[in-house]
Amino acid sequence: MMSRLAEAKTMLAKATSDLNRIRPLAENKAVSQSDLDGAVAAYEASQASVEAAQAVLRASQIKLSYTRINSPITGVIGKTKAKVGDFVGRSPNPVILNTVSNLATVRVEFFLPENQDLEVARRIIEREKVGGPQRGTATFELILADGSLYPLSGRFDFIDRNVDPTTGSILIQVSFPNPDKLIRSGQFAKIRTVLERVKGGILVPQRCVSELQGITRVFVVGDDNKVQERVVRLGPSVGSDWLILKGLEAGEKVIYEGLQKVSDGVMVNPQIVSLETIEKEKT
């Protein structure tokens, strides 16, 4: 196409030169009028040839532009699925050429069970009633697959409008900045956040708590080594422990082993074990 345009421009240059030479000669009657008319016709024909060649070149450039596909975003590209010569983008072979991920910000999706969603929602509502932070302001931490803590915090982005009836859970999305491109699409990680801070909270191992006819209880040992049954109100679980909201005081001794052998009012000879020792035994 470029060669045809160059040829047409060469012919136009020649026709222009011939016309410029013949026109003054025709004015002086040195050449016939028919020679002038022929030179003008050749010039106009050469002009039309140049315009036609330019139109063909533009059409070819437009067709060529269809073979170049530019990504609409800047990011990291995946494996190309199509080969040279494949007809793509339309049936019967609607091949997806490639996928580009914008890694500047990474969205992390996870599912929260329905019962936990209700618990979190109630606590947020209660917190807002007493003037606490509004919903959506919590920050999130990301624990990567190798157990390391991602250094940047995430922000709440989206919660689905409904609970998935097949799994009984609701989708939540959190966004994390990713300036170093450390996080990639498809990775697995854990999400951690602080809903509230409880001052002077009491934690007891979950195995210390038993339930009887809908009543949760623990057994404590007094200074006289007598066992007392205490009805407690449980808060959320924290790791392998329960947060006790009501029913225990700080410093009281809670029975950890032999719960099947004790009852309210019996005397025992306790062996005191610290929580640190219990945690070491678990590990």
Q: How confident is the model at residue 31 (pLDDT cuts 50, 70, 90)?
A: confident
Domains of the chain, by residue range, sit at 2-65, 105-193, 202-282
- Is it true that domain 105-193 has CATH number 2.40.30.170? yes
Where are any strands of DSSP class E within 198-279? 202-205, 210-212, 215-221, 227-231, 233-238, 241-246, 253-254
Instruction: Give the pLDDT confidence of 225-238 residue by residue, as tens digits.
Output: 888 888 988 887 77
Closest CA to 100 of 188, 179, 185, 177: 185
Burial (CB count <10 Å: 0-12, 13-18, 19+), residue 8 = buried
Tokens of 141: 């931490």
Instruction: Give the pLDDT confidence of 177-235 residue by residue, as tens digits.
Output: 999 889 988 889 998 887 777 777 888 888 888 888 888 998 998 888 888 888 988 88
The mean per-residue pLDDT over the stretch 243-247 comes to 86
**Sheet arrangement for strand 241-246:** 202-205, 241-246, 233-238
Q: How confident is the model at residue 173 (pLDDT cuts 50, 70, 90)?
A: very high
The CATH superfamily label for domain 2-65 reads Helix hairpin bin (1.10.287.470)
The span from the CA of 88 to the CA of 13, in Å, is: 44
How much of the chain exceeds pLDDT 90, in percent? 16
The span from the CA of 33 to the CA of 22, in Å, is: 10
CATH of the structural domain 202-282, one choice from 3.40.640.10, 3.40.1550.10, 2.40.420.20, 3.40.50.2000: 2.40.420.20
pTM, whole model, 2 decimals?
Answer: 0.54
Cβ atoms 156, 113 nearer than 8 A: no
Report which secondary-structure segment, H or E, holds 154. Answer: strand 154-159
Q: Can you give the length of the chain in residues?
A: 283
